Amino acid sequence: MSNTVTNVVFAGLGGQGIIKSSDILAAAAFAAGLDVKKSELHGMSQRGGSVTSDVRFGSEVLSPMVPAQEADFLLVLEPTQVEINRGLLRPGGVLLSPDLIPDGALRNKKSLNVAMLGVLSVLLALQPEHWEQGLKECLAVRLHKVNEQAFALGRRQGEARFKS
Amino acid sequence: MATTQQRLLLSGNEAVALAALHAGVHLGTGYPGTPSTEILEYLDHIGGKAQWSPNEKVALEVGIGVSFAGGRTLITMKHVGVNVAADPLFTAAYTDLIGGLVLISADDPGMASSQNEQDNRHYSRAAIVPMLEPCDSQQAYDFTLKAFELSERHKIPVILRMTTRICHAKTPVVPNQDVTPAPTPEFVRDIPGRVMIPAYAKPAHHRIRAKMAELTRFNEHSDFNRIYPGSSELGIIASGISVMHAREAAPQASLLALGMTWPLPMALIADFVRSVKRCIVIEEGDHLLYEALRAEGLMVEAKPEMYRFSELTVPRVRRILAGDLSPEPQPPKGKPPELCQGCSHRPVFEILGHMDCIVAGDIGCYSLGVLPPFNAMDTCVCMGAAIGVGLGMRHVLPEAQARRVVSVIGDSTFVHSGLTGLAEMVYNPPPTGHVVLILDNSTTAMTGRQEHPGTGRSLGHEPTNKMDFAAVGRGMGIKNVHVTDPMEDPQGFASLLQELLAKDELSLVIAERPCVLAAPMIRVYEQAAEEKLQTSCAGAVGH
Ligand SMILES: Cc1ncc(C[n+]2csc(CCOP(=O)(O)OP(=O)(O)O)c2C)c(N)n1
Ligand code: SF4
Residues 6+ apart with CB under 8 A from B62: B27, B29, B53, B73, B75
Q: pLDDT averaged over chain A?
A: 93
A27 close to B (CB below 8 A): yes
| pLDDT of B508 above 80 | yes
Give A74's strand partners.
A9, A95
Interval B235-250 mean pLDDT: 98
DSSP per residue, B108-175: -TT-SS-S----THHHHHHHT--EE--SSHHHHHHHHHHHHHHHHHHTS-EEEEEEHHHHS-EEEE--
The reported pLDDT for the residue numbered A1 is 41
Low-confidence winner among A85-94, B247-256, B341-350, B533-542 (lowest mean pLDDT): B533-542
How confident is the model at residue B539, as a pLDDT? 61
Express each pLDDT in A81-134 by its tens digit. Answer: 999 999 999 999 999 999 999 989 998 889 999 999 999 999 999 999 999 999
Cβ pair B9:A43 closer than 8 A:
no
Same domain, residue pair B252 and B300: yes
The verdict on a CB contact (< 8 Å) between B314 and A88 is no
* Residue in chain B nearest A28 by alpha carbon: B2
How many Å lie between the centroid of ligand 2 and the Cα of residue B372?
16
Give chain B's domain count.
3
* Residue B331, domain member (yes or no): no
| 3 state SS for B475-526 | HHCCCEEEEECCCCCHHHHHHHHHHHHHCCCEEEEEEECCCCCCHHHHHHHH
Question: Chain B contact for A142, CB < 8 A?
Answer: no
For residues B471 and B417, state if they share a domain.
yes
**Are B127 and B208 part of one and the same domain?**
yes
- The residue whose CA has the least distance to atom 4 of ligand 2 is B365
The answer to whether residues A120 and A25 touch, using CB atoms and an 8 Å cutoff, is yes
Q: What is the per-residue pLDDT for A3? A: 59
B4: confidence class by pLDDT, cuts 50, 70, 90: very low
B20 lies in the same domain as B111:
yes
Q: Write down the pLDDT at residue B66.
A: 98
A161 pLDDT band, cuts 50/70/90, is: very high
Rounded Cα distance between A53 and B332, Å, is: 14
* Whether the bond into A79 is cis, omega within 30 of 0: no
| Residue A163 pLDDT class (50, 70, 90 cuts) | confident
Rounded to an integer, the average pLDDT of B387-399 is 98
Query: Measured at the alpha carbon of residue B121, what is the angle toward residues B118 and B123, in degrees to the nearest 5?
Result: 90
Q: Is the residue at B167 inside a domain?
A: yes
Of the candidates B438, B458, B437, B461, the residue with the CA atom closest to the CA atom of residue B518: B461
User: Which pLDDT does position B542 carry in this prediction?
Assistant: 47
Which residue's alpha carbon is at the smallest distance from atom 6 of ligand 2? Answer: B340
| DSSP label at residue B305 | G
Distance CA A36, CA A62 (A): 9
Burial zone of B183 (CB within 10 Å; 0-12 exposed, 13-18 middle, 19+ buried): middle
Q: Rounded to whole angstroms, how far apart are CA atoms A72 and A53?
A: 14
> Could you tell me if B203 and B89 lie in one domain?
yes
Whether residue B338 and residue A63 make contact (CB cut-off 8 A), yes or no, is: no
CB B415 within 8 A of CB B362: no
Cα torsion angle, B53, B57, B59, B61, sign: negative
Prior bond of A67 cis (ω within 30°): no
Say which range, A10-14, B132-136, B306-310, B333-337, has the weakest mean pLDDT.
B333-337
A152 interface with B at CB cutoff 8 Å: no
Indicate the pLDDT class of residue A162, thresholds 50, 70 and 90. Answer: very high
What sign does the dihedral B47-A44-B121-B279 (CA atoms) show? positive
Within a domain: B27: yes
Architecture of domain A6-162: 3-Layer(aba) Sandwich (3.40)
Q: What is the mean pLDDT of chain B?
A: 96
What are the tens digits of pLDDT across the range B291-312?
Answer: 999 999 999 999 999 999 999 9
Does the bond joining A98 to the residue before it have cis omega, within 30 degrees of 0?
Answer: no
Q: Which residues pair with A54 in a beta bridge?
A: A9, A39
Please tell me the distance from the alpha carbon of residue B316 to that of residue B237, in angstroms, as a whole number.
16
In this structure, the answer to whether residues B504 and B425 fall within a common structural domain is: yes
Nearest to B306 by CA among B287, B325, B280, B331: B325
Residues A48, A18: Cα–Cα separation, whole Å? 12
Query: d(Cα A73, Cα B120) in Å, to the nearest integer?
Result: 36
Could you tell me how far CA B336 lies from the centroid of its own chain?
23
Closest C-alpha to B366, from B390, B350, B355: B350
Domain closes at, from B165, B190, B219: B219
Minimum CA–CA partner of A136 in chain B: B2
Which stretches of B34-120 are DSSP H helices? 38-45, 56-68, 79-84, 86-92
Nearest Cα residue to B132 out of B265, B325, B291: B265
Q: d(Cα B49, Cα B66) in Å, to the nearest integer?
A: 12
> What percentage of chain B exceeds 70 in pLDDT?
98
Q: Do B409 and B387 contact (CB within 8 A), yes or no?
A: yes
Percent of chain A with pLDDT over 90: 86
Backbone φ and ψ for B518, nearest 5 degrees, come out as -85, -25
Q: Is residue A63 less than 8 Å (CB to CB) from chain B?
A: yes
- Do residue B376 and residue B490 come from a single domain? yes
Say what percent of chain A tops pLDDT 70: 95
Is B41 domain-assigned? yes
Residue A45 reports pLDDT greater than 90: no
A47 lines ligand 2 (CB under 6 A): yes
Output the CA B532–ligand 2 centroid distance in Å. Answer: 29
Mean pLDDT score, B241-260: 98
Has the ipTM of the complex gone over 0.90? yes
Length of chain A, in residues: 164
The answer on pLDDT for B269 being more than 90 is yes
Site to substitute for ligand 1 among B79, B103, B363, B368, most atoms within 8 A of C-beta:
B363
pLDDT at B497: 98
The pLDDT, as a whole number, for residue B226 is 98
Q: What is the mean pLDDT of residues B489-507?
A: 98
**Record: contact B2-A85, CB cut-off 8 A:** no
Find out whether the beta carbon of A42 lies less than 6 Å from any atom of ligand 2: no
Ligand 1: does its nearest atom lie under 6 Å from the Cβ of B110? no
Residues B122 and B211 in one domain: yes
Q: Given this model, what pLDDT does residue A7 score?
A: 98
Are B31 and B98 in the same domain? yes
Band (B179; pLDDT cuts 50, 70, 90): confident
**What is the rounded distance in angstroms from the CA atom of residue B244 to the CA atom of residue B238?**
9
- Would you say residue B533 lies in a domain? no
- Give percent of chain B above pLDDT 90: 94
Residue A49 has pLDDT above 70, yes or no: yes
If asked whether residues B121 and B259 sit together in one domain, one would say no
Domain that holds residue B486: 345-513
Residue B541: predicted pLDDT = 54
pLDDT of residue B3: 46
In this structure, what CATH number is given to the domain that contains residue B392? 3.40.50.970
* Contact assessment for residue A14 and residue A48, using Cβ atoms and an 8 Å cutoff: yes
Domain assignment present for residue B232? The answer is: yes
